[in-house]
Chain A
Amino acid sequence: MATSLDGRTIAVTGAGSTLADGIAAALVASGANVLASLDRVSVSLDGVVHAAMPAIAYERVPFHEVDDARWDAVWEQTMRDTIEVLQTGYRAMRDHGGAFVVVTPVVGMSGAAELGPYSAAVEGVRLLAKSAARQWGGDGIRVNCLAPAPEHVPIGVDSGALALSPPALGGPGDVEADLGPIVAWLLSDDAHFVTGVTLCADGGVWMAP
């Protein structure tokens, strides 16, 4: 039986992207009340999915051609936005507990040529989630990461480049059908003992840790 999120209110950042929209659709199907933004959250939340990433982050540029404006937009702004999302979500969940799922494609762990700023930002975000998990466990707030295959972000990186074997499950999967239920589970009480974890859901390629 699929995870039920009946009565739960979940905010999903990054509306308009394949990952955010697919995950949001799956959460709605699980019974959650989904908010497409964290901007004016005064309501109490049960969960936050952070999938937002500025479009400029996906542009491939040789590192010696990256300028300060690009590094600032990809690294600095992504990190500041993520800090804000985590702090806002914390305030909306601290009274009764809750869960974050932070979307960090495996390219942060693998690295990729011409994607230095993006990979740095993804890995920075992933470690921010671990730090939050360590500090907020006592508040009943869990923080986990979901690491999808690089095919789900527009960076032109193929899973096949990351491993010598093809994806064990045949491919990168469908966001709503394959990744959505995992996110719903991570947000649910069934995952109450899971925090600080990065769940690689890339079809069985990277297999970290």
Chain B
Amino acid sequence: MTSAGRARRLEGRTAIVTGAGQGVGRGIALALAGEGANVVIAARRAVTGEPVAHEIRDRGDSAICIETDCTDRAAMEACVEHTVAKYGALEVMVHNAFRGGRAHRLEDLDLDLWTENSRTAAWGSYYSAQIAYPHLAAAKERGRLVLVTSPAGVEGSGGIPVYGPVKAAQRALAKSLAREWGPLGVTVNCIAPVAETPALEYAFNERPELKTRVEERTALRRIGDAERDIGGVVAFLASDAGGYITGQTVVCDGGSFMGL
């Protein structure tokens, strides 16, 4: 029970969150753990992931860190295997890790930057989904795949032209997998968050005009909090209450992009 006396919605379930060493991934991990889930912090570097696991355990919740590069199939397989060996099941897979948000011109695209975007967002989604699949299928109507995309995956991005495409690919993959895995009871959704994170801070530093634009366009006039505003949405999708939502993108950006 939480301090409010409410039953925790994910008690006894197990979740993996990639890229949970910072930002949105950390917020999602804190929120899922706060609802009772055993959370695996799948961070590329233990030096960022371990402190988040500690923070969760300090709150009395359950978490471990497994150093995992989401663009490496063997590493993802090992992460899932370790998780299931420790907790006995895997109900919730959240792929959030992303790298490559640097502004550029499409006509001068450096293919290394494309590769970073593609490997983390698209290949990472492919590995997360496929390697978690047998366990999500076994979890049946408790099985959840959540891919963290972006409003840019719908509207495109003028500054980072390859960011929209890899984020759009995640949305399409979620829709196809929602249709494919629906008969098993497993749901597949995306969230499209905007939150105060190191990545957003970096983007604002690189494109100062973007900060003003985002603030002016956001109906709620504030940038989201990764745990409360974004993590809470994933906790809901992961819970039984979210079990009839699949194939969707939940935009949680304070009312900025309204194009869905």
Contacts and interface: CB of A to CB of B under 8 A. Distances in A.
A63 B118 contact: no
B242 to A, nearest CB: 19
B interface SS class:
helix
A119 B162 contact: no
A108 B161 contact: no
Contacts, number: 135
Interface residues of A, number: 45
A134 B158 contact: yes
Taking each of B126, B162, B165, B180, which has the highest tally of chain A beta carbons within 10 Å of its own beta carbon? B165
Contacts of B153: 127
A126 B154 CA distance: 9
Contacts of B176: 63, 111-116, 119-120
Contacts of A196: 156
B205 interface: no
A126 B180 CA distance: 22
B107 A131 contact: no
B42 interface: no
Given A87-B107, A116-B173, A66 B164 contact: no
A206 interface: no
Interface stretch (A32-40, A72-80, A146-154, A174-182): A72-80
A76 B118 contact: yes
- Size category of the B interface is 35 or more
Interface string A99-119: 000000000111111111101
Interface string B88-116: 00000000000000000111010100100
A83 interface: yes
Taking each of B129, B154, B161, B178, which has the highest tally of chain A beta carbons within 10 Å of its own beta carbon? B161
B215 to A, nearest CB: 20
Contacts of A10: none
A130 B173 CA distance: 19
Contact of A119 (B157, B167, B175): B175
B171 interface: yes
A135 B168 contact: no
B46 to A, nearest CB: 26
A30 B123 CA distance: 42
A136 B106 CA distance: 9
A83 B113 CA distance: 13
A110 B175 CA distance: 7
A111 B169 contact: no
B5 interface: no
Contact of A122 (B123, B129, B172): B172
A71 interface: yes
B123 to A, nearest CB: 7
B156 A131 contact: yes
Contacts of B130: 63-64, 66
B155 to A, nearest CB: 7
A130 B155 contact: yes
B198 interface: no
A28 interface: no
B247 interface: yes
Contacts of B126: 66, 71, 75, 117
A62 interface: yes
Contact of A87 (B109, B133, B170, B180): B109
B179 interface: yes
Contact of A123 (B111, B168, B178): B168
A181 to B, nearest CB: 27
A134 B162 CA distance: 12
A127 B180 contact: no
Given A128-B165, A131-B163, 13 more contacts: A63-B180, A64-B133, A75-B123, A79-B165, A83-B162, A90-B106, A108-B172, A110-B175, A111-B174, A116-B172, A120-B172, A121-B169, A122-B172
**Which 6 A-B pairs have CB atoms at the shortest separation, nearest pair first?**
A111-B175, A130-B156, A131-B161, A123-B172, A127-B168, A134-B158
20 contacts: A66-B126, A68-B73, A76-B118, A76-B123, A108-B172, A111-B174, A111-B178, A111-B179, A114-B180, A116-B173, A119-B176, A124-B165, A127-B164, A128-B106, A128-B161, A131-B162, A131-B164, A131-B165, A136-B106, A136-B107
